[in-house]
Structure formats: structure tokens, C-alpha cells
Structure 1
Amino acid sequence: MRVVILGIGNLLLSDESVGVRALEALRDSHDVPPEVTLIDGGTSGMELLEDLEGVDLLIVLDAVFANRAPGSFIRLSGDEVPVFFRRMLSPHQVGLSEVLASLDLLGRAPHEVVVLGVQPLTFETGMMLSGPVAARVPDLVNAAVQELDAHGIRLDPRAVPAANLA
């Protein structure tokens, strides 16, 4: 099984970076097996085509606009994902939707896509997440770990997070 966890977001726009921040937290807190690739997609678009081609499971971590309270956790899968990409819920979805549509046309789309996100509070210029969104980063990490576990892939937590090793 080939799995990609894709964190997307702009690190300069506060809550817009939650996907990348969650990916960093996952990488720092867990040992990831070789069949799982962690990709910091930043604000990438079509450059992700090759990385996402033919994966069995794509887990997207991102800020998601869902008309909910800031910091609300959002999980989309199955039939919800195409709806997600038709309604502008994320600043990246134009790029990501083009990538997924291109892969679909080539017959190489990910077999399954799960979007894990948080309703943002602000996209003001700044490198810090707002309080309600920062509080959800551990939930995004746990949700990604649970998604993998549901697919028979175990991520073991590190005794000491990599960020604390010097």
C-alpha cells in the first residue's frame, strides 16, 4: 500500500499554515514506515502530480472553510471530497483539484482521498496559528494516525519528539 500525507498551506498567513504545521507535528512525534510518504506541499499545485500519482490513500491536512466556528475539526471522505473541491473551501483547492482531476483523466488518481482540516479564524499576515486553530493541531495528528490505523498501518509514537533531540 502506498500512502501520502500531504500538508498544505502558506506559512506566512497565520491559520492558512495549519496543514503544514500538523504535518511537521506528525513527523516530529511519530516514526513513519516506508510505505507512508509525508509531503510538505506548501502552496504547490501541479508540481504535486508525480508525487500523488497512483497512491492508494491520500490524506490531506489543510485549513478548510466550512462555515463552522473557528477551530472546528473537519473530516471529509468518499463522496464528500468531490463536493469539497467544487465549493471553494480551501485556498489550495484550485491547485489540488487540478492535480486530482489530471490524475483522474490519466487513470492514476488516488484510490481514496481523506481531507482532515480545521476551520480557520484568520489569514492575516503572520507565522503563528490563532489559538483555536493551534489547539487543533494535535487533533489533526491523531486523526491522521487513526486513518492510517484503519488501513492497517501503524505509526509508533516517539519516546522523545524529534524536535526535542539536539
Structure 2
Amino acid sequence: MKTIIIGIGNTMLADDAIGPLTAQALKNCGAPAISLELDAFTAATYLENVDLAIFIDTLEPVYGRPGQIIQLQLDPTRLSPEEMAKAFSRELSSHHPTPADVVLLAYSSGIFKGKAILIGIVPETLEFAHPPSTTTISKIKEICGKVAETANLQIDCNCVEANFKEILETLKM
């Protein structure tokens, strides 16, 4: 089974950095992960022939309290042709895609027919040029554990947590 772990976000926006920084830490610890700050169209190409795509990203506050981790299945097959057309008729930001945008683009282009899961965290802050909050940083091992369980992979979450903190230090965050 071909699996990919994709962190999406913006490293300049506090907790929005969790996706790409966690993915980089996972990759550094041996997991099949990539960190994306790419446009939606380029990001969708990473799903070609993938069986399982796991996204790490922040969620809107309506999903819960800051630091809460939510797991959602992203299933474009549940959309009718009309719903899919409506999704494409809205303006799609090429600079900050959501995981749903990426999955929908890859699915509709025929390059992705696998399963897509979002492991999202409700952010505490999205302030520009600030580091991730201590609330969000404290959830890295839990996010790693959910990724490992979902992907059925052996991942050293202690390595991921330590590597995440090293990345933050390198970035002077």
C-alpha cells in the first residue's frame, strides 16, 4: 500500500505551521512524509497512485477548542456531480490549498482513487511571524500517534517530537 503523509500550512502563521513542520519532523524520523507550502495544483500531483493520503493541517475553530485534534475522512466520491461543480466554481486559492481542495483536484483529474484522511488540530493562534503555541506544540506526539495508527506504520513519536523542537529552534521560532 502506497502511503503519503502531507503537512499543509504556512510556517509564518503560528499554529498554521504545525502541518508542514510536523511532516518535516516525520520525514526526518523515517516516515513517508512531505511538507507543502505549494499551490493546490502542484500538491494534487503528489497523490498520483497513492492508496492512503494523510494530511496534517489546522482546522477552523468551529471544530472544537484550541489544541483539540480531529480526524476526518475526505471522500470526494460522496459528492454529486453538481456538488463537485459547485466546489470548483468557487475561487480556489492556489497559494494555500486545503486538504479537501487537494483531494478534490486529484480525484477529479483521475490520478487519485485512494483514501484521504485529515488529522487536524484546532489552532490557538494564527498570528503572523509568531511560533506555534505551547498548546499546539504539546500535541505533536499525539498527532504522530494518530498518523502512525491511521497509516499502520511504526513511527518513533519521541523522535518526531524532538525533531519538531529542533526544527523550531533552527527556524528561530
TM-score higher than 0.5: yes
Match of 2:145 among 142, 147, 150: 142
Aligned with 2:102: secondary structure?
Answer: helix
Contact conserved, 1:21 with 1:137, CA < 8 A, in 2? no
Residue 48 of structure 1 aligns with which residue? 43
Q: What is the distance in 1 between the residues matched to 2:109 and 2:76?
A: 22
Corresponding residue pairs, total = 148
- Is 1:118 the equivalent of 2:121? yes
Deviation at 1:110, TM superposition (A): 4.1
Residue 92 of structure 1 aligns with which residue? 97
Deviation at 1:82, TM superposition (A): 6.8
Instruction: Output one character per residue of 1:78-99: Cα deviation in whole Å (capped at 9) or x when no partner.
Output: 659979xx7xxxx632xx4443
Unaligned runs of 5+ in 2: 80-86, 88-95, 167-173
Distance of aligned partners of 1:70 and 1:60 in 2 relative to their CA distance in 1, 3 Å threshold: same
Higher fraction of helix? 2
Contact conserved, 1:31 with 1:155, CA < 8 A, in 2? no
1:49-88 equivalence runs, <5 A: 49-67=44-62, 68-77=64-73
AA aligned to 1:120 is P
AA aligned to 2:112 is A
Aligned-pair RMSD on alpha carbons?
3.0
Q: What is the distance in 2 between the residues matched to 1:4 and 1:65?
A: 23
Q: What is the distance in 1 between the residues matched to 2:19 and 2:3?
A: 17
Could you list the structure 1 runs, at least 4 aligned residues long, displaced by more than 4 angstroms after superposition. Answer: 78-83, 158-164
Contact conserved, 2:45 with 2:106, CA < 8 A, in 1? no
Aligned with 1:69: secondary structure?
Answer: coil
AA aligned to 2:138 is A
TM-score for the superposition, normalised by structure 2? 0.71
Aligned with 1:147: secondary structure?
Answer: helix
Aligned with 1:114: secondary structure?
Answer: strand
Q: What is the distance in 2 between the residues matched to 1:82 and 1:39?
A: 27
Aligned with 2:125: secondary structure?
Answer: coil
Aligned with 1:71: secondary structure?
Answer: coil
Q: What is the distance in 2 between the residues matched to 1:145 and 1:75?
A: 13
Identity %: 22
Deviation at 1:22, TM superposition (A): 1.6
Contact conserved, 2:20 with 2:37, CA < 8 A, in 1? yes
